Amino acid sequence: MRKMNLREYAQYDGLGLAELVRKKEVTPRELAELASQAVEKINPKINGVIETYTDRIESLGDEADNPDAPFAGVPFFLKDLGATEGGRKQEMGSRLAKGNVADHDSFLTQRFKEAGVSILGRTTTPELGFAPTTESILTGKTRNPWNLERIAGGSSGGSSASVAAGIVPISHASDGGGSIRIPAACCGLVGLKPSRGRVTWGPSLDEALNGMALEFAVSRTVRDTAAMLDAVCAPASGDPFIIIQPERPYIEEVGAPGGCSVPL
C-alpha cells in the first residue's frame, strides 16, 4: 500500500478517492488523517472548519464499511445548519444556539452515510444562514482560499472554502436564495441547487422557506455532484412534494450528448 501525501490527496475528487479505497491503495483512516492534516495546515488561513471529529478519525479502520458505496471512505463535512448528526453539535452560526447538540440523524445525513462518506466535522455558516457572505460573531470570517482578501460567499461558505482548498473533495451545503450557488461561484466549484422536493428535509422539517430552501452539496467535479445526487435524491416519509424521479442515474448524464435529459 502506497503512502499518499497532501498534494496528491487534494488532486482527487471524491469518486477518485473512493476508487483508491476499493483497490486498497489507501484506507479510510489514512484519508481522514490527511483531511485532518489539511485542516491544521489550511484552516487557520480560511476559517472554514469549526470542528473536526478526532474520535471518528481514530475509529476508522483500514477498510470501508461499505466498499461498494460510491463515496466509500471519502472525507466529508456537514454544514453547521440543516442536516443534523445525532450526538454532534449544530450551532447554526449563532450565539443563541452555542453548545446545541442534535439528538438524531436527519434523513439526508443517513443518506450521506449510506453513500459511504466519513463525516469528519462541521463547516461555518453565517448566523442562521441569512447572509451571502459567511461571517458571524460566533465563528468569525471565512475567507476565500483563492484570495484571502475576498469572501467565500454564503451561506455555505465554510463548505465551499474547504472544498476549494482541497481539505475535502465534497461537502454538505444548502440553498434558499443562493447559499449553494453564491459560494460555489466565489470559490470556483460545482454548486447545484436541486429542484424542490428532490432532497428530503426530514424528519424534523417538511420544507424550509416555504419550499425555496434545499439541501445538497458542493464539489469540485460534475461527476461527484451527479453521483451524490443519485445517492440522496429519493423521497422520504413526510415529504410534502411530489416530483418526477429520474429515469436513469444522473451519473450517466455526465458527458452524454445533447445535455441532461432528466429533471434536476
Contacts of 242 (CB under 8 A, 6+ apart): 197
**Tell me, what amino acid is at 234?**
A
Beta bridge partners of 218: 171, 191
Grid cell, residue 206, equals 417538511
Given 36, 79, 113, 162, which residue is catalytic? 79
41 is catalytic: no
Distance of alpha carbon 227 from alpha carbon 115, whole angstroms: 9
94 is catalytic: no
Give which of 141, 192, 153 is closest to 170, Cα–Cα.
Answer: 192
Given 94, 136, 155, 171, which residue is catalytic? 155
Given 159, 179, 193, 219, which residue is catalytic? 179
Grid cell, residue 81, equals 445548519
Task: Answer for the pair 54, 60: CB distance below 8 angstroms, yes or no.
Answer: no
Distance of alpha carbon 237 from alpha carbon 153, whole angstroms: 33
179 is catalytic: yes
CA 51 to chain centre: 14
Which sequence positions are flagged as catalytic? 79, 155, 179
